[in-house]
Structure 1
Amino acid sequence: MSLKETETYQIENTSTADLNFIYTLFEEAITYIKKNNYVGWTTYDKNFINQDISNKLQFKITNGNDIFCVFSICFTDVVIWREMEKGDAIYLHRIVVNPKFKGQKQFEKILNWNIEFAKEKRLKHIRMDTWANNPNIIEYYKSFGFKHIEDYTTPNTPELPEQHRNLKVALLEMKL
């Protein structure tokens, strides 16, 4: 996947050299969520992060040495999207923003890149899931054009990251 350069940031694959910083981002996000009594991650699965890096499915937004955020994509998500999975979507997962760069529209950068990438691949949808019992984050994603499809409780399966098992999620979709 190609590097995207703009005036102020780049989007490129993460590497194993980024692992310690990625783990720190997840740990800081969990601490922030707990401190503020928000609904969100309570843990994260290092194996899935490593797989995403190995499979070149995790990306970072950077400017120089600064990592603004990381996110993962995949092209099939049958465990969560079940019969709706038709091989015509890109799925966003595990978006974590560096606290130093919160409020700087990181999700907008991620979404714009994914829209462009999905169109290049002739995909019809961008899909994601988030916590069903967090109406603020659902409304946030809807403000970017996502539609709430349904709520779904994920199965307890090793096919999902640890933090995603037995979780009630809101399925969100943007048609391209």
Structure 2
Amino acid sequence: MQLTTAQPEQLEEIVHMFEDVKKVMAKNNIYQWNQDYPNRDIISEDLRQGHLYLMQKDGKVAAAVTLDRFIPPEYDEISWRDRSGQYLAVHRLCVNPVFQGQGIAKKLVQEIENFAREKGYTSIRLDTKTTNQRAMNLYESQGYEKRGEFYFPDFDRPFVAYEKVLH
């Protein structure tokens, strides 16, 4: 499986996948996202800007992620190791529930790192809610380092920022 740029004709399938992911997360008491986020408008804008990437399996969207240079202002509080300014930011990473438990998240993270290296980025930055233990385990197992915690508005629990410096 390779990382490919999402295409406009895939929008409906992608939106439905995100809705399914949010349901599974809620069922598992992971409130990383809510009913309003991510929504169709956000996903559409990611797609329009060419920042939405997919992995496919058996002709279906197996995973999605947004890759860009946008970092929220809350990241200003974080002490990043790589100060070159050549970071890639990861947002809205998810695996279709139909394909969860098959190692796709790990493969997706590896593909993101390959993408970053090919494009000349020196590090990757991302975050997850501190209650999302599955995501934290994934990132830490792939060599991402916790760089600090912060709060997004309207969330009662902190998020943890991760970084991986690429060599």
Question: Secondary structure at the residue paired with 1:10?
Answer: coil
Q: Residues 106-129 of structure 1: CA distance to partner in whole angstroms, max 9, x if unpaired?
A: 222222222222222322111111
What residue number does 1:173 align with?
Answer: 163
Once the 2 structures are TM-superposed, how far is the Cα of residue 167 of structure 1 from its aligned partner? 6.6
Once the 2 structures are TM-superposed, how far is the Cα of residue 64 of structure 1 from its aligned partner? 5.0
For these two proteins, the number of residue pairs brought into alignment is: 160
- Please say which of residues 80-89 and 136-145 is displaced more in the overlay: 80-89
Distance 1:172 1:30 in 2: 22
Change (3 A) 1:24 1:78: closer
What amino acid does structure 2 have at the position aligned with 1:82?
Answer: D
Change (3 A) 1:64 1:173: same
Distance 2:102 2:149 in 1: 29
Moved over 4 A (4+): 83-86
What residue number does 2:16 align with?
Answer: 24
Contact 1:127 1:172 in 2 (8 A): yes
What amino acid does structure 1 have at the position aligned with 2:15?
Answer: Y
Give % identity.
24
Distance 1:53 1:35 in 2: 28
Once the 2 structures are TM-superposed, how far is the Cα of residue 131 of structure 1 from its aligned partner? 0.4
Change (3 A) 1:77 1:38: closer
Alignment partner for residue 93 of structure 2, among 92, 95, 106?
A: 95
Question: Secondary structure at the residue paired with 1:21?
Answer: helix
- Please say which of residues 29-38 and 138-147 is displaced more in the overlay: 29-38
Normalised TM-score (structure 1): 0.79
Distance 2:4 2:99 in 1: 17
User: How large is the RMSD of aligned CA atoms in angstroms?
Assistant: 2.2
Normalised TM-score (structure 2): 0.83
Q: Which runs of 5+ in 1 are unaligned?
A: 1-8, 157-164
Distance 2:61 2:115 in 1: 21
Bigger relative contact order (CA 8 A; separation at least 6): 2
Alignment partner for residue 40 of structure 1, among 32, 38, 41?
A: 32
Q: Residues 46-81 of structure 1: CA distance to partner in whole angstroms, max 9, x if unpaired?
A: 222111101110011013522111111112315232
- Please say which of residues 79-88 and 115-124 is displaced more in the overlay: 79-88
Alignment of 1:146-157 (within 5 A): 146-155=144-153
Question: Secondary structure at the residue paired with 1:112?
Answer: helix
Once the 2 structures are TM-superposed, how far is the Cα of residue 144 of structure 1 from its aligned partner? 0.9
Q: Which runs of 5+ in 2 are unaligned?
A: none
Question: Secondary structure at the residue paired with 1:123?
Answer: coil
